[in-house]
Amino acid sequence: MSHDYDPEWNYVLDRRPPPAVKKLVDQAKREHGPIWKALGFTKKPKFAYVRDLSEGHLARYVGGTESEPVFVLDARAIARAAQDNRVDLQTAVWSTLLHEYGHAYVESVGLHDDLNPDDEEEIVEKFAHTAWEDDWRVTYALSELNERLGIPLDQVVG
């Protein structure tokens, strides 16, 4: 099942995101296929650049789009966060994407409504950190994510 969600319905689009961030997101689109498959995404995610996400967010997974995940990115905020935190831009972009993929996964396995928002944030942040810091050990990071969510191995997607 697909959806017709358009980020412009809820966000102000950024039609000219910083080129360095856009380049890294485009690279991620080319290289993250195995991650998407491991997480059970059956369709390629969609990405939109937006301005001024609320509450200081760098990006968001758009809930309800798990059939074809939609992610909105505040590219300018990501670039500022990289600079403020003294990390390279690729780390900022890709760890942000991994974090948001975690939210899409939590929803796709039907646990979003069962988790306290703070617990979900902690769980998906740990997934992103493990997947990024451990040389893309996505399978390990996903098994750790499933364990934290209480999903038995025989019910794992991907």
**Position 135 pLDDT exceeds 60:** no
**Position 157 pLDDT exceeds 60:** no
Please name the residues in contact with 81: beta carbons below 8 A apart, sequence gap of 6 or more.
58, 92
pLDDT tens figures, 35-62: 898 888 989 999 999 998 977 899 999 9
In the block, tokens 């059956």 appear at 42
User: Quick one: average pLDDT of 10-29?
Assistant: 96
116-145: burial string, b at 16+ Cβ within 10 Å, e else: eeeebeebbebbbebbbeeebebeebbebb
Closest CA to 52 of 83, 17, 97, 87: 17
Structural domain boundaries in the chain = 7-149
Whole-structure pTM value: 0.86
pLDDT tens figures, 3-19: 789 999 999 999 999 99
**Position 127 pLDDT exceeds 80:** yes
